[in-house]
Structure 1
């Protein structure tokens, strides 16, 4: 199954800012309580305190850490700096000079706030969730991607690369589809399977297969067209598949 199913909007917004967060988002994700400030206060220098505070907000809002602080909107930087009593946000330029500092801060945040990497058992749990949704529904892969992203953020799992998620979703959907086909293949009897295989062969008077002929519905409303529709129904009814029990299969997938 294809793995390049994301929309442009999904690709651009995954783990990134696409604009200034609104006031509600600022209050929900970037507000620093006293416990946050106590943790942040362990870092020395305004540049480090502002940097680690922004990383806390980013992982809450985006689900990941940013390596380039210039990608953080100005409103977010000012909102965070005011809470720390930092008037000059240009000190943030000094924070971005040392990559090791960002790594150390990310590790400290993961440990303190209990964020986890996308690894076992979380990969298994997400796979199980996606497989269940793929089996009982016929949701588009893009919707499953949004579901997976929300689930990861809810459980404080650092977002993996977008291709990691799209590949996982494609594999899960393919397994669910294969399971459906395997179950469907077990339903017909040997005689019914033989009849179904005959649908793929050409008819005597046409190069079209019988299956393709049966797919063609009436194009006009008339007596002959009605009679043809009845004959199509009789042909399909003769297979006897209408009497089979399909209750164990999700109706939306049939």
Structure 2
């Protein structure tokens, strides 16, 4: 699989399963989807579903998928697999497949995913996917996993977690902008008094150092515990990850 994301969540396995398998709960924490709906089915066939993602105001890209799950496995783990496709001409993502694994681990669960997809639009699509979409999808998946973790571990709802993230992002941006504004306005330093000349030399240097120090802190400082962050998730498989056999039983929806 092309993308791998893993989070360790201190939660009951049944609770984690419910919040990832029920569409009304899944769409609340997963940044990649705006809407997920199960389609009618008979009891002896895999579950078909419809998904939609609002890319821009007035522009929603939809697709269909098929999924199946194994809730009871001999080793105590659980697995779900899916295949999906989007006929929308503006969807760079044409079709793909993936899986979720739920591995009990002490007082928590290792919740991980592996998935890959085929981009459309030929060579241009392949380049756009490599430079933009694939890194964005990896980040969005990891960020969403951490938002799910906050929901299960601390009761921070997905909606509140998003507000926390936006507020922290705004705060960091304002701090950086204020520091940059100070550097830009350095020329207004009063040019009189015995310290005018030495301060006129030192002040720009001080502001430049302060700006880059603030920039470093803004970009790399640890997020608040109540704010979801993609960096908290594992982005590479510790061992070679293999798709479950269950995935082979599913056909790509058309």
Q: Give the TM-score normalised by the residue count of structure 2.
A: 0.25
Greater relative contact order (CA < 8 Å, ≥ 6 in sequence)? 2
Please give the TM-score of this superposition, normalised by the length of structure 1. 0.25
Q: Per residue, is there more helix in 1 or in 2?
A: 1
More strand by share: 2
